[in-house]
A = this chain, B = another copy of it.
Amino acid sequence: MLASVEARPSFKRLPRAVREQQMLDAAVRVFSRRGFHEASMDEIAVEAGISKPMVYAYLGSKDDLFRACVNREGTRLLESIVAAVGDDLPADEQLWRGLRGFFGFVGAHREGWAVLYRQAKSRQPFADDLASLRARIVEVVAGMLRKAVTQEGKTDAKDQDLTASAYALVGAAESIADWLADHPEADPDHSAARLMNFTWLGARQLLQGELWQPSSA
């Protein structure tokens, strides 16, 4: 039966789509393990159980391949978050679920995502792909914050402030995710809870108009 054929790691004559996924799986592993530059096309081909020319035939150059990895993983992450957030829940609940979704995904793809993410940030051609992913996530978060503000009755919050807050939150989350990726024993939910607390309370105060003021200059 086909099912069993797909289940065992058959390396011959697979349809293109399947082969491509195998290659991407292998590429993600190798890029994560070594970093972009240290990863060699040779190693990726071996890891995929396929010859190098096939990799070039299917996925193109090393840059193309890496971008494909970033995009596939990025899409999965975004979907993971969106699915977790849900539609009709209170803002804090949504934020909480979103954070859990995010950290859960990173926790489950430690070796995959976080390292891959780190790579992409520093290499120019990929930074753009990443930036657009990030922008979409920020948008989602900003939406939640706007909803929260509305719930609290505040209506004059400036959009720019909301976006800035969302940006800070996402940045903090990424920073913690980075750390999470390096600490296999850490619990993603715990990270989510900590950030939730740390952020939510602060954000609420902030959105309620309370501000810390420097006493000097």
Query: Which of chain A's residues 194-217 have a Cβ closer than 8 Å to chain B?
Result: 194-203, 205-206, 210-212, 214-216
Residue numbers in B under 8 Å from A157 (CB-CB): none
Contact B175 A200 (CB under 8 A): no
Whether a CB of chain B sits under 8 angstroms from the CB of A176 is yes
- For this complex, 14 residue pairs linking A to B, each with C-beta atoms less than 8 Å apart, are A35-B37, A35-B123, A36-B37, A93-B215, A122-B122, A165-B198, A167-B179, A171-B176, A193-B214, A197-B202, A197-B206, A198-B206, A201-B205, A202-B203
* Assembly stoichiometry (copies): 4
Interfacial chain B residues near A199, Cβ < 8 Å: 198, 202
Q: Choose among B164, B172, B214 the residue that contacts A172 (Cβ–Cβ < 8 A).
A: B172
Instruction: Give the interface size bracket for A toward B.
Output: 35 or more
- Interface residues of chain A, those whose CB is within 8 Å of chain B, are 35-38, 90, 92-93, 96, 115, 118-119, 121-123, 164-165, 167-168, 171-172, 174-176, 178-179, 193-203, 205-206, 210-212, 214-216
Measured CA separation A201–B207 after assembly (Å): 11
In whole angstroms, how far apart are the Cα atoms of A93 and B213 in the complex? 9
| Complex Cα gap A115–B122 (Å) | 8
In angstroms, Cα B200 to Cα A198, docked, is 9
A198 to B90, CA, bound (A): 21
Q: Which residue of B lies closest to A93 (CB)?
A: B215
Please give the distance in Å from A127's CB to the nearest CB on chain B: 9
